Amino acid sequence: MSANAFALSAVGRRQLLEWPIRVTTALFCQSLGNFPPSFGYATAASSGAGSAAAKQDDDGKKAQGDSPATRLLIDPIFRLHTTGRNHPERPERVDAVTRALGEAELLPKLGRIARRAAVDNELLLCHTPEYVKLVKREIAAGARMLSTGDTAVSGKSLEVALEAAGGLLNAVDAVVGRKAKNAFCVVRPPGHHATPDRGMGFCIFNNIAIAARYAQKKHGIGKVLIADWDVHHGNGTQDAFYRDGSVFFFSTHQSPWYPGTGKTWETGAGAGRGTTLNAPFPAGAGRVEIVGTFRNKLVKLANEFKPDLVMISAGFDSRMGDPLGKFTLDDQDFADLTGIMLEIAEQHAGGRLVSVLEGGYNLEGLGAAAASHVQALARG
């Protein structure tokens, strides 16, 4: 990839985001150099929902013929959620992952996931009707921050958030439908802090929670395991399933740290008692603590729980050098964490695993860690 492809001035970036989406897509795909011409916002939008579904089916047939182990959801639309100058959760995060995957020569080896917008009934699998209405109302009114918490928004944020959630549902369809063994979804905004009735922590909709419920409702999946290695506790995902024994939520995270939840004694309630496991660690924790906990605790619990689908909230702000965390994981650690999750999926879920991007704010570190994650998925 040309170094000049992303070397835009601040003014240039603003102009790029203001151009029609068709132009943004063309520039993004040109800089990437590996996506087919049909892959992009303009094609999907102009073809309608029926054509998008047909494209997904065609992609699935191609994937079965070529037998890619891993499929990727990545699209320029995820750049269009703008959060303000100097905000850590910024459009360049998508560029960083794209560049790293290209430099690692992974893009030609991966199948594709078509994006689509989630509809209200899908959002309501996790969120309350009142909260969905609030998001729509406040973004339409020009809000720059959701009233429910610290989540910056802009004119395109609702559209992009719907695409993030819906794209993950397409990934579930592909993996559960055996069109691929696993998938990685490079979406933004992230989702794991969004509770059923509150957006917070840069998150609007809880992408992974919606996807877990969707897998159960549409595909009849019984048990879902969600593992979250983001440096911040996935409080929204925990809240969504705290009283539900069909979804096991496991989290390693820095503590004390934002959002202040994820204590060891938070283990679920009612029917969900015992299906939440939190492993908080102090600043400076790294491979010994985090990879060790995945291997020594999660594997054992997964053997007891026996999930039918494995999902990962892949936050790379737990990597060393991230400005919003103080963990010390390196790229090999993320490969090893991915390997552990693949082993669990292979043993209990027929290999079915779906991963979604959460945090990661050091652009170089984010790209390197994501590439290590995808390399491990592709080997799996």
**Residues with catalytic roles:** 193
In sequence order, the 6+-apart residues with CB closer than 8 A to the CB of 296 are none
Q: Which two tokens stand for residue 225?
A: 């395991």
CB 30 within 8 A of CB 16: no
In sequence order, the 6+-apart residues with CB closer than 8 A to the CB of 131 are 148, 196, 197, 198, 199
CB 279 within 8 A of CB 251: yes
- The DSSP-derived string for 184-209 is EE--SS--TT-BTTB-BTTBSS-HHH
CB 46 within 8 A of CB 85: no
Cα 230 to Cα 193, 233, 301, distances in angstroms: 11, 7, 20
CB 33 within 8 A of CB 105: no
Q: How far is 83 from 144, CA to CA, in rounded Å?
A: 8
Strand spans (E) along the chain:
70-73, 111-112, 182-185, 224-228, 247-254, 276-281, 309-314, 353-357
Tokens 């994981």 correspond to what residue? 329
CB 251 within 8 A of CB 275: no
CB 295 within 8 A of CB 279: no
Q: How far is 254 from 327, CA to CA, in rounded Å?
A: 7
- The DSSP-derived string for 237-249 is HHHHHTT-TTEEE
Residue 75 forms beta bridges with which residues?
A: none
Task: State the DSSP code for 268.
Answer: -
229-239: string of b/e by CB count within 10 Å (b at 16+)?
A: bbbbbbbbbbb
Look at strands 309-314 and 70-73 and give their pairing: unpaired
Task: State the DSSP code for 117.
Answer: P
